Every structure is written in structure tokens, then in C-alpha cells.
Structure 1
Amino acid sequence: MPSNESEEPETAGFRRPGWRKPAPLGYGPAVETATGVAAPLLAGFSIAFLGVVGADADKFRWPSQAMLLSLCAGLSLIMAVQCGFNARQYLYSPADLADWWTEEDRTVPGRAERLQEEQRADFALWQQWARRGRIAYNLGIVLFTAATALVIAPPPSAAGGDAAVRWLGTGIAFGVSAGEAAWAFLPRTVWRRLRGVLRRAVRGGVRVWRRVRLRLRAGKGGTEDR
């Protein structure tokens, strides 16, 4: 989950409203969904990994390391739930205030300005807790996918095609873990540069493959002519 809780910048002809708001506007519900729905489910899976690996440690290649990563992932995701709970109490809109304060109350001299000041202070607290929840959630996903890679790794007794398939799964899981870490924690500028490098690398690989395929076809045609 990337960080997008910045507000709209000041531009010519644009006057920032007195109320602070997330940007994009859906970032608040996104944080609530990640920390209140996804994080508890993933924390449950992480704790389940502990029981499975601990009960049959001899069937896994790196049981101790997998259990450690699962434990850290579960704790990080539980922390994300707690941060999301603390953040939610500080995010509200002017419509929420209108439900609690009558029109007569809001027209008291100085009352509207004071409500706006309180909302801006609460919004700053929401940003802090939302940022902590986002970091804990992303870290939990990175640790969870890394633990999955260790769990799926073939035991020493595995051999043949089964071991090869499980090593492939380990590599994929580690790749997803590394990709999630880069996407979640690298600055946006660095990530855009890295994405550009990856795109150029993929395009270069495609061009090389096309050239190799053409040469193979040409060599095959020359062999048939003989």
C-alpha cells in the first residue's frame, strides 16, 4: 500500500479549503480496509504457519527461519490493526460535524473557526497513525511472503521434479517479497526510475530473443537446403 495521504497543492487560482482532507479522497477508506480487514486475515495465516511448521518441522527445509518470519509477520500485521484503530478516530468530515453540531451551534461567533482548527489538528494525528499502519502493513506482507518462500522450499529428502517445482515456487515467493518491499518502501522517484530500468531491460531482452530466433530460423533453413 503506497503512501498517498498528501493534500492538494496550492496552485494559481486555487484556494485550499479550511478543512483538511486526504488526497486522493479514497485513501482513508483504503487505509481502513487494509488495517481492519486484510491485516487481521494475513495475521491469522501467519499464526497458522507457526502451528503447521512447528508440528511437522522435519518436513520443512528451514523450519526455524520460517517460524521466525511468520512470527514477525503476524506481529507486524497486528500492529497495523492497532494503528488503523487509532487512526480511524481522528478522521472525520464536515458532514460528520454537522451531524453532531446544530446549525445554531455552528453559527456562534468563532465556533466554525475553532472546529476547523480542531479538525486540522486531528487530521495531522490521523496522518501519523495512518503512516504507521501503512508501514506495519507493508512490512507484514513482505515478511509473510518471505515466510511463504521458506515454507514451500523442498526438504532435503525431496528430489526430481517435485524439488524443482518447489524451488521455482520459492523463487517466485522471494521475488514477490522483494517487489513488495521495493514498491512499498522505496521513494516514488526511485521506484519510477527502477521501473524504467526494468522496462528497458525487458524490451532489450525481447529484442535479443527475436534476433536469436531469426538466426535459428536462418540456420535451420540453410541446413534443410543442404
Structure 2
Amino acid sequence: MTTPEEELTPGWQQPTPLGYGHGAKEAQFVAAPLLAAAALGLAGVVAAAREKVFLLPGPTLLMLVLSAMSLIYSIQLAYHARKFLYSQQDVLDWYGANIATQSLLWKELRRAQSTDFKVWERYIRGANRYFNRGTVLLAFGVAAALAPGKDSSQPSWRWWAAGVVLLCAVGEISWQLKLRREVNDRSQRKRPGIGQGGSS
């Protein structure tokens, strides 16, 4: 049974869904560096090529560079965000299990975790937005690079390849919007009391 004061104390927060932090980590620290490297590598190829090999070398370079910068920024935001994500178990590991018996310090640590969790949420959402933008920009940059210039051989095949990439980019945008709606719906359905931790 909690006292009125304990009921007002912010509880131990957790991501919704619970695997959100792990998923974001994989995207920001594994996929984003690889995709940024691919974007910059392709930008180097476009920049070094003769002008007539690519249909629109200038816009292609711009999309690829914007993609790389967006992905790199997502890594930076995620790195900063990660410093603010920790759980009740982390606190117990760091301070020792007997910390829970020291009610004033325990409540202060719960308040700090709740505040830090909100900071993590803000930064990780920004990181995910930049990651999603970066992947879409990369797809458009690849499609633009595939579009044949005047000196390109087998132009019909390159147009088909560019079309496939554009189709996938549209699918990616649709997928991102669907996932965002699902996560938002799940967050809104989160029942009061989940993550509040009671007085423990």
C-alpha cells in the first residue's frame, strides 16, 4: 500500500514498446554508419565521373550528401540520448540492492530516472527522424545515380533499376509512417500505473 506522497513520486520509466531502445541502438549504431559510408562513397563516384554519365549529377550529389549528413546527425543524437537511458535494475546494480531501503535516496533516484527518461525520449525521437530521412534521401540519391546520362550504356536497364529503387523508397516512406502510428497508438493505450513502480 502506497502513501499519498509515494503515489505522486514519478515511477521507473520504460520504453514503449519495451524493445524500442534496443531497436534504436541497432539502427543508429549499426545501420546508420554503414548507410552514411555508402552515401558518401557513391557521392565520390558521382563527383569524379564525367558529366554525361549521370543524368543529374548536381541534384544527385546533393541528395547523397544530405543523406549522409542526416545519418551522421542521427548517430550523434542517439549517442547523446543513450546517456540518459537506464533502468531500475541499473540503479540497483550501481548502488547495491540495499539502496531500496533508503527511502529518500531511492525516491530521488526514481525522480532522476523519470526526468532522464524524458530527455532520452526527446533525443531518440529526433535521432530516429533523421535516420528515416537519411534512408529515404539515400534511396532517392541512388535512384538519381542510376538514371542514365547521355553517355550511359544500356539506358533502359538503368531506368528500370532506378524505378525499382524509387518504388522501394515509396514503400519505405509508407512503412515508416505505419510504424510511427503503431508506436504512437501503443503509447496512448499504455495504462496508468504501468511503469509507475509503486513504492518499490
Give the alignment of 1:17-166 within 5 angstroms. 18-58=11-51, 59-158=53-152, 162-166=154-158
Q: Tell me the CA shift for residue 115 of structure 1.
A: 1.2
- Matched-pair contact (CA < 8 Å) for 1:139–1:181: no
Gaps of 5+ in 2: 1-9, 183-200
RMSD: 1.8
Confirm whether residue 184 of structure 1 aligns to residue 176 of structure 2: yes
Task: Select the structure of larger CA radius of gyration.
Answer: 1
- Matched-pair contact (CA < 8 Å) for 1:47–1:71: yes
Q: Which has the higher contact order (CA 8 A, sep 6+)?
A: 2
What percentage of residue pairs aligned between the two structures are identical?
A: 33
- Seen in structure 2, the aligned counterparts of structure 1 residues 57 and 106 have a Cα distance that, compared at 3 Å, is farther
Give the TM-score taking structure 2 as reference length.
0.80
Paired AA for residue 127 in structure 1: E
- Seen in structure 2, the aligned counterparts of structure 1 residues 48 and 184 have a Cα distance that, compared at 3 Å, is same
Gaps of 5+ in 1: 1-16, 190-226
Runs of 4+ residues over 6 Å off in structure 1 = none
Give the TM-score taking structure 1 as reference length.
0.71
